Chains A and B, each alone.
Chain A
């Protein structure tokens, strides 16, 4: 651990949100640099690279998505959390596709943002290359091609339903982290109105069936009793 406080670049065009989120994050031990739009954010990153970027999607001058693309073009490993607007499920899919490390729907609880920031920082402090922007991921014999939405086990292509693929992709790009079913529902499905986590369990069962795994001795997706699921195999870009 360094003595330095992690530096966060907070990009949002709303002055009230900037002001108060800055206050909350600074009191929690983070150094916050505010920016009002994507162009300002890019200039700030050029001047001095932060440890993490929090990026609003809807902004004037340059919106968050364009800013994310440009950040990814120059800084493959810089972690980004996107703040998406209410609704628009395509934003969620786009957020993960374009290499955001996490996303949060507005309005959110600032404590939730803090928890996500800490999780992302933990991930990047391990010194490993982040997987969020990788086109393909490999874990042993398992390989997924993200843009093409294809799964291979050894040389054989396997068939997964789109939601099972999205679930596997999300778990695989966050190896060793435990995700609750609620969180997975929000991230992969978008409609978390489902009163039960059954949908998640079904897709995990599908993934295991397709990968020929045994739930009791899973080498890829492991059940963490009482908590949720975790991708246990080491993952590399591939």
Chain B
């Protein structure tokens, strides 16, 4: 948002300054080339206000043109955002429809079947599926709305604990997990944030790295500090994501085609992004299909600012 405002300001400043600078340059060249002559403008006194008005209008013209262009631009961006939101909402509804349809179908099919233990077991299993779907949706809501409890956190300790936790996950023992955080000349600066939520985000990303890789694959946790931002980056040599599906993983319930064979809710990364953005940071995913992925989480060391 602030980046766009800055850009708009620059355009406006350009519109005001460029004619003056251009005029000055022409004058200097003309004068240097020995240009001579005098221009007198006479105007009868009663018409002086009109002439001054005309002059001011001419001066304001570029600003007006720029304003109109800016307005159009903003309108365009707004319309595109609305379009994107509508499309993303439609996709979410379609996915929800899909996720709910199947368990309900299972229940109705089981009910139509003869009464038996198997029938009861099916109904139970399908209602569990619906329950866990609701639970996952609820988690996102909670992460987005729960009050942040801010403390000063040592990123190295946080990473160490998250890695220790993930080491106990099934399959983690067969991955080569390496942590490389800077120690010289100085370690990562402390960050202000909600420790429980940031831990949740880190563990989620690490869980993905384990889930979408094979035994023998490498997982690396890297850290670096840049200006006022601490970047924690989780990289793996797992299966990666096809470029056309890269945006999908950030959408609720969105799952890449290939990921459907692995158990998961499709809510992990949206939750990670929600946590990081609540801290005023950004989460990105770079992936090379078949080679692996890198997921840098950038967190402002000062924590979420009052406005964000």
Q: Which of B161-210 contact A (CB under 8 A)?
A: 161, 165, 169, 195-197, 199-200, 203, 207
| Distance between Cα atoms of A194 and B142 in the complex (Å) | 12
Known: A86-B134, A161-B151, A163-B196. Is A194-B203 also a contact (CB below 8 A)?
A: yes
Docked-complex contact B165 and A87, CB < 8 angstroms? no
Q: Which of A197-211 contact B (CB under 8 A)?
A: 198-199, 202
For window 166-202 of A, CB contacts with B under 8 Å fall at: 189-196, 198-199, 202
List B contacts of A198 (CB < 8 A).
Answer: 161, 165, 199
Residues on B with C-beta less than 8 A from A49 are none
| Interface residue tally for chain A (C-beta within 8 Å) | 20
In Å, the complex CA distance between A202 and B142 comes to: 21
Q: Are B199 and A199 in contact (CB under 8 A)?
A: yes
In angstroms, how far is the closest chain A Cβ from the Cβ of B184? 29
Instruction: Please tell me if A6 contacts chain B, counting CB pairs below 8 Å.
Output: no
Q: Which A residues are CB-close (under 8 A) to B199?
A: 194, 198-199
Decide yes or no: A195 and B207 within 8 Å by CB, A87-B141, A107-B134, A189-B196 being known contacts: yes
B149 engages A161 (CB within 8 Å):
yes
Q: Does B234 contact A (CB under 8 A)?
A: no
Cα–Cα distance between A86 and B169 once the two chains are bound (Å): 28
| Interface check A159, CB cutoff 8 A | no
The reply on B72 being an interface residue by CB < 8 A is no
A108 to chain B, nearest CB (A): 9
A108 closest partner in B (C-beta): B131
Bound form: Cα–Cα A191–B197 in Å: 9
A162 interface residue per 8 A CB criterion: yes
Q: How far is the CB of B47 from chain A (nearest CB, A)?
A: 70
* B143 at the A interface (CB under 8 A): yes
Bound state CA distance, A195 and B200, in angstroms? 8
Interface residues of B in 130-148 (CB under 8 A from A): 130-131, 134, 136-139, 141-143, 145-147
The answer to whether A107 touches B131, judged by C-beta atoms less than 8 angstroms apart, is: yes
Q: How far is A107 from B129 in the complex, measured between Cα atoms in Å?
A: 12
Q: Which residues of B sit under 8 angstroms from A202, Cβ to Cβ?
A: 195
Contacts of A87 in B (CB 8 A): 137-138, 141-142
CA distance A192 to B197 in the complex (A): 11
Expressed in whole angstroms, the Cα–Cα distance for A105 and B134 within the complex equals 11
Q: Is A89 at the interface (CB under 8 A from chain B)?
A: yes
Q: Are A194 and B196 in contact (CB-based, < 8 A)?
A: yes
Number of interface residues of B (CB under 8 A): 27
One of A89, A189, A195 near B203 (C-beta < 8 A): A195
Chain B, residue nearest A203 (CB): B196
How many A-B residue pairs lie within 8 Å, measured between CB atoms? 54
Q: Using Cβ atoms and an 8 Å threshold, which residues of chain A touch B241?
A: none
B271 at the interface (CB under 8 A from A): yes
Looking at the assembled complex, report how far the CB atom of A187 sits from the nearest CB atom of chain B, in whole angstroms: 13
Q: Is A89 in contact with B196, judged by CB distance below 8 angstroms?
A: no
Please indicate the chain B residues that have their CB under 8 angstroms from the CB of A191 in the complex. Answer: 139, 142-143, 146, 196-197, 200
- In angstroms, Cα B196 to Cα A191, docked, is 10
**Distance (Å) between the CB of B133 and the closest chain A CB?**
10
- For B196, the chain A residues whose CB sits under 8 A away are 163, 189, 191, 194, 199
Given the contacts A191-B200, A198-B161, A89 and B145 also touching, CB distance less than 8 Å: yes
In the assembled complex, the Cα of A19 lies from the Cα of B200 at a distance in Å of 40
How many angstroms from the CA of A87 to the CA of B134 in the assembled complex?
9
Q: Are A190 and B165 in contact, with the CB atoms below 8 A?
A: no
Contact A195 B146 (CB under 8 A): no
Given known A107-B131, A194-B199, contact A86–B149 (CB-CB < 8 A):
no
Contact A162 B165 (CB under 8 A): no
Contacts of B200 in A (CB 8 A): 191, 193-194
Q: Closest Cβ of chain B: how far from A90's Cβ, in Å?
A: 8
In this complex, what residue of A is CB-closest to B151? A161
Complex alpha-carbon distance, A126 and B141, angstroms:
39
Q: How far is the CA of A190 from the CA of B196 in the complex (A)?
A: 12
- Interface residue ranges, A against B (CB under 8 Å): 86-89, 105, 107, 161-163, 189-196, 198-199, 202
Q: A107-B131, A191-B146, A193-B200 are in contact. List 4 more A-B contacts (CB 8 A).
A: A86-B138, A89-B145, A162-B149, A193-B271
Q: Can you list 21 contacts pairing A with B, beta carbon distance less than 8 Å?
A: A87-B138, A87-B141, A88-B141, A89-B142, A89-B146, A107-B130, A107-B131, A161-B151, A190-B146, A191-B143, A191-B200, A193-B136, A193-B200, A193-B271, A194-B196, A194-B199, A194-B200, A195-B169, A196-B165, A198-B161, A199-B199
